[in-house]
Amino acid sequence: MEIKKFSFEIHGDKQGELVSLEEMKNIPFPIRRVYYIYRTEAGVVRGKHAHKSLEQVLICIHGSCRLKLDNGRGETEVLLLDRPNEGIYIANDMWREMFDFSPDAVLMVLASEYYDESDYIRNYQDFLNYVRKE
Ligand code: TYD
C-alpha cells in the first residue's frame, strides 16, 4: 500500500521552529477546512470511517498518536505520527482509525471540502462493499 508522507520544511532559527502550509504548494489541494483533535481520552479510537470524496492531510502538531490505514483490499498499515513537520496524505477509499493519543496530542487535519456527513462511510462492511464495487 502506497502512503504519501510529506516532510514539511522547517524554518528554524534561534527563536525556534516554524512550519508553513500553503494550498496547492506543499498541500496538494485547496484547503476548505481545518480541524484538530485534542485532549483525547486514553484508550479512545477515533475516526473509524472512510470518505467517498475527500482529500486530507493529517499532522500531529504536538504529542503523538497512531494512524491505522486500511484500503479494504487486504492491506493495512499503522503509522506513528509524532513530528509536527510530518503530514500523511489520505484520499478516498481509505478506512482510517486514530488511537494511542498521548495526553498532550494535537492532531490537526487539513481537508479539501467542507464538513459533509453524506461523504462519510461509517460502517466497515459498507466500506468493504463500496471498495469492491469500484
Ligand atoms: P467525527 O467525524 O465522529 O470525529 P472522528 O472521526 O475524529 O472520531 O466527528 C465528531 C463530531 O464533530 C461529529 O458530531 C461531527 C462533528 N464534526 C464537525 O462538525 N465538523 C467537522 O469538520 C468534523 C470533522 C466533525
Binding site membership of 76 for ligand 1 (Cβ less than 6 Å): no
- What's the pLDDT band for 64 if we cut at 50, 70, 90? very high
Binding site membership of 68 for ligand 1 (Cβ less than 6 Å): no
Strand partners, 80: 66
- What's the pLDDT band for 134 if we cut at 50, 70, 90? confident
Q: Distance, CA 13 to ligand 1 centroid (Å)? A: 36
Binding site membership of 32 for ligand 1 (Cβ less than 6 Å): no
Q: What is the pLDDT of residue 18?
A: 97
The residues, ordered by sequence, that sit 6+ positions from 89 with a Cβ below 8 Å of its Cβ are 3, 4, 5, 6, 28, 55, 56, 57
Give me the residue spans of the domains in the chain.
4-133
Q: What is the pTM of this model?
A: 0.96
Q: Mean pLDDT throughout 13-41?
A: 98
Q: What is the pLDDT of residue 72?
A: 97
What is the torsional sign of CA 7, 11, 17, 20? Answer: negative
Q: What is the pLDDT of residue 22?
A: 98
Closest residue by Cα to atom 6, ligand 1, is 47
- Percent of the chain scoring above 90 in pLDDT: 98
| Among 106, 95, 105, residue whose Cα is nearest residue 69 | 95
The number of the ligand 1 atom at minimal distance from the alpha carbon of 37 is 7
Q: Say yes or no to pLDDT of 40 above 90.
A: yes
Q: What is the pLDDT of residue 81?
A: 98
- 82-118 residue pLDDT tens: 999 999 999 999 999 999 999 999 999 999 999 999 9
From the list 11, 49, 51, 62, the catalytic residue is 49
Binding site membership of 107 for ligand 1 (Cβ less than 6 Å): no
Domain 4-133: assigned CATH number: 2.60.120.10
